[in-house]
Amino acid sequence: MLLEAIHHQPKSQYAYAYDEETLHIRVRTKRGDMDKVSVVWGDKYDFQPEKITTTEMTVLAHDKLFDYYQVEIKPPFRRFAYAFKFEKGKKTVFLNEVGFQEDELSQSGVGMLWSPSGMFEFPFLNAVDVNKPPAWVKDAVFYQIFPERFANGDPSLTPEGAEEWHADAVPTRDNFFGGDLQGVIDNLDYLVDLGITCIYFTPFFEAYSNHKYDTIDYLKVDPQFGDNETAKRLVDEAHKRGIKIMLDAVFNHSGYYWPPFQDVLKRGEDSRFTDWFHLRGLPISESPLNYDTFGFVPQMPKLNTENPEVKAYLLEVARYWVEDIGVDGWRLDVANEVDHRFWREFRDTVKTANPEAYILGEIWHNSLAWLQGDQFDAVMNYPVTNSILDFFVKDEIDAESFMGRLEQLLIAYPLQANEATFNLLDSHDTPRLLTLAEGNKKRMKLAALFQLTYLGAPCIYYGDEIGMDGGGDPDCRKPMVWEKDRQDKDMFAFYKKLIQLRKDYRALRDGSFTFLKAEKDAKYVAFEREDDANHFVVVMNSDEKKTKVKLPAEGSFVDMLTGKSYKASRGTLVVEVEGLEAVVLKAE
């Protein structure tokens, strides 16, 4: 037993409330080290030998080095004291808050060191503290729209000097094409046809640039896109079609032309807004830069969200769009650079306006600190993005590493945050999926298939579904291709089919997820997804060559992509998968 590998941390992703009565307890051990791992637990106010329960844990996930065990417990009085019991061969070791206890438990089940004060503790499960993302997110299929580039529905709003909208148009840092909100309204039925249930908009409030991350007025739709009434109409029309709307909250910084910043520029020390920003000197200077900004971008002065007036203003913005206009969620720009206290108040404001609103942080790294129930429901899952790309698209890692990376993420957060996570493969900040795949549509489809059969909510970046390509910002922001003969119809049909499959079977959205095969040096994976009603086995071949996979299984299966039937024989299912293809087998 390698005791050094064992890790547990109370009140963390290793011990949290999943719902109002259920605790998840996890512990890490060296991979393959233990015969049996259990939680030994009782009520902390009634910790008597005869009332102590031992519950066996199961392996939830593993990576190259570790196994991660988990158990679900519903303590009758919503509080509990616990320790772990590790068994290997004849050896038994306990771990409580004091440390490892190598002596055997006494007959009664409680040894000398087993006083409640030495136990780990989950002091009380208070419902208000439970991270409870809106239930609809698990079922959602998101579509990301960059408003300037999706569709031009009202040419009267098109900015002067805008370039012509066509399939070969080239986006630059500062050119315009004339996309607007009416254009989105006009194409809502296109999104219904594809199967979309929520649109994520990058900013559409008044701003100077084409991307609108440099806000001038947070309470007003940019005149190039329409007005607040158009936004209301968009929300209503979308809702009529079962589509929700999520907006981008750019609260880390304002734009250079935001009136309070302009006031500081003009009045210097006499401005009443000097404390609204992080100034390091006056008068304001862009070079050398003497105020904090997003990155080193002078057009984006960082907001002082500790200032009560700034806070009140931004919270009103958060409330207004949810309550008065009816949007269903906020994606929080540069979420990890804004103070936690602000986000806690933001959450209270938004959830008061609509308890079912989704709060999604834009964080590219580990985000546990924001996912404890008091700030965000979930984050944009860039670590999953990168794992999918590295395995299916770039062919840079083997199946074992792919599994290890995903499983590490699974235990990095409470389960409910993973269930409501936002899984994207590309965005307005990255090269497009097809370009990352160097034009290989088979690889692109493999990545999309995994995304659409994995847990969390998938998001499709506008145009991917018709085979649009594009390099990094700004090339990934080309105007949507509407010319029918330039759209990849096969790609559209592929996305549509997989989205429908995901919608038809809850198992593919919210069922258990288990890797069946993910071996060292292998270029294929197999996993299963299962709920009470259905059982799927998905085999994906990331190799150019055909592969033959043997899986432990019983009964008959049908491939939901081709209709082909498979039958297991003597406990083994043999599946041949062509190079860069996949089968999605449903048990019959």
- CA 93 from centre of chain: 37
Among 211, 311, 432, 509, binds ligand ARE (CB under 6 A): 211
Q: Which of 115, 130, 121, 27 is nearest to 80 (CA)?
A: 121
Binding segment for ligand ARE among 77-85, 136-144, 158-166, 293-301 (CB under 6 A)?
A: 293-301
Question: H helices of 210-278, where?
Answer: 228-240, 259-267
Query: Between residues 129 and 473, which has the closer beta carbon with respect to ligand ARE?
Result: 473
Kind plus residue range of the DSSP H or E element containing 383: helix 382-388
Among 395, 473, 519, 578, binds ligand ARE (CB under 6 A): 473
Count of C-beta atoms within a 10 Å radius of residue 228: 15
Residues 162-201 that bind ligand ARE (CB under 6 A): 173
Residue 204 beta carbon to ligand ARE: minimum distance, rounded to whole angstroms: 13
Kind plus residue range of the DSSP H or E element containing 206: strand 205-207
In angstroms, rounded to a whole number, what is the distance separating the alpha carbons of residues 347 and 313?
A: 15
Query: Between residues 96 and 254, which has the closer beta carbon with respect to ligand ARE?
Result: 254
Which amino acid, 143?
Answer: Y
Inter-residue contact 111 to 103 (CB < 8 Å): yes
- Report the chain's terminal Cα–Cα distance, integer Å: 42
Kind plus residue range of the DSSP H or E element containing 56: strand 53-56
The DSSP symbol for 575 reads E
Query: Between residues 153 and 474, which has the closer beta carbon with respect to ligand ARE?
Result: 474
Helical axes 340-353 vs 308-319, angle rounded to 10°: 30
Residue 429 beta carbon to ligand ARE: minimum distance, rounded to whole angstroms: 5
Query: Between residues 180 and 333, which has the closer beta carbon with respect to ligand ARE?
Result: 333
Question: H helices of 320-364, where?
Answer: 340-353
Inter-residue contact 165 to 153 (CB < 8 Å): no
Interface pattern 300-329 for ligand ARE (x via CB under 6 A): x-----------------------------
In terms of Cβ atoms closer than 10 Å to its own Cβ (0-12, 13-18, 19+), residue 257 is: middle
In angstroms, rounded to a whole number, what is the distance separating the alpha carbons of residues 288 and 265?
A: 15
Residue 87 beta carbon to ligand ARE: minimum distance, rounded to whole angstroms: 42
Query: Between residues 379 and 446, which has the closer beta carbon with respect to ligand ARE?
Result: 379
Residues 486-525 that bind ligand ARE (CB under 6 A): none
Among 16, 114, 213, 566, binds ligand ARE (CB under 6 A): 213
Position 429 contacts ligand ARE (CB under 6 A)? yes
Query: Between residues 123 and 295, which has the closer beta carbon with respect to ligand ARE?
Result: 295
- CA 116 from centre of chain: 38
Chain position whose Cβ is nearest to ligand ARE: 213
Inter-residue contact 250 to 203 (CB < 8 Å): yes
Count of C-beta atoms within a 10 Å radius of residue 564: 11
Count of C-beta atoms within a 10 Å radius of residue 61: 23
Residue 334 beta carbon to ligand ARE: minimum distance, rounded to whole angstroms: 4
Q: What residues have CB less than 8 Å from 406, skipping those under 6 apart?
A: 384, 387
SS3 259: helix
Residue 264 beta carbon to ligand ARE: minimum distance, rounded to whole angstroms: 20
Among 297, 412, 516, 558, binds ligand ARE (CB under 6 A): 297
Residue 313 beta carbon to ligand ARE: minimum distance, rounded to whole angstroms: 18
Q: Which of 267, 352, 339 is nearest to 310 (CA)?
A: 339
Query: Between residues 252 and 453, which has the closer beta carbon with respect to ligand ARE?
Result: 252
Interface pattern 127-166 for ligand ARE (x via CB under 6 A): ----------------------------------------
Query: Between residues 158 and 209, which has the closer beta carbon with respect to ligand ARE?
Result: 209
Cis amide linkage into residue 288, ω under 30° from 0: yes
Query: Between residues 200 and 536, which has the closer beta carbon with respect to ligand ARE?
Result: 200
Q: How many residues bind ligand ARE (CB under 6 A)?
A: 16
In angstroms, rounded to a whole number, what is the distance separating the alpha carbons of residues 416 and 529?
A: 17
Residue 213 beta carbon to ligand ARE: minimum distance, rounded to whole angstroms: 3
Residues 239-258 that bind ligand ARE (CB under 6 A): 250
Residues 26-85 that bind ligand ARE (CB under 6 A): none
Point out the residues that are catalytic. 333, 362
Residue 363 beta carbon to ligand ARE: minimum distance, rounded to whole angstroms: 7
Inter-residue contact 5 to 64 (CB < 8 Å): no
Interface pattern 332-371 for ligand ARE (x via CB under 6 A): -xx---------------------------x-xx------
In angstroms, rounded to a whole number, what is the distance separating the alpha carbons of residues 222 and 247?
A: 14
Inter-residue contact 290 to 299 (CB < 8 Å): no
Among 302, 405, 428, 509, binds ligand ARE (CB under 6 A): 428
In angstroms, rounded to a whole number, what is the distance separating the alpha carbons of residues 132 and 558?
A: 36
Q: Which of 346, 149, 150, 313 is nearest to 217 (CA)?
A: 313
Residue 207 beta carbon to ligand ARE: minimum distance, rounded to whole angstroms: 10
Residue 50 dihedral angles phi and psi, to the nearest 5° = -75, -10
Q: What residues have CB less than 8 Å from 510, skipping those under 6 apart?
A: 138, 139, 419, 455, 531
In angstroms, rounded to a whole number, what is the distance separating the alpha carbons of residues 30 and 57?
A: 15
Which amino acid, 511?
Answer: G
Interface pattern 377-416 for ligand ARE (x via CB under 6 A): ----------------------------------------
Interface pattern 546-575 for ligand ARE (x via CB under 6 A): ------------------------------
Residue 84 beta carbon to ligand ARE: minimum distance, rounded to whole angstroms: 35
Query: Between residues 213 and 482, which has the closer beta carbon with respect to ligand ARE?
Result: 213
Residue 312 beta carbon to ligand ARE: minimum distance, rounded to whole angstroms: 22
Query: Between residues 473 and 530, which has the closer beta carbon with respect to ligand ARE?
Result: 473
Which residues of this chain interact with ligand ARE, rule CB under 6 A?
173, 211, 213, 250, 294, 297, 300, 333-334, 362, 364-365, 428-429, 473-474
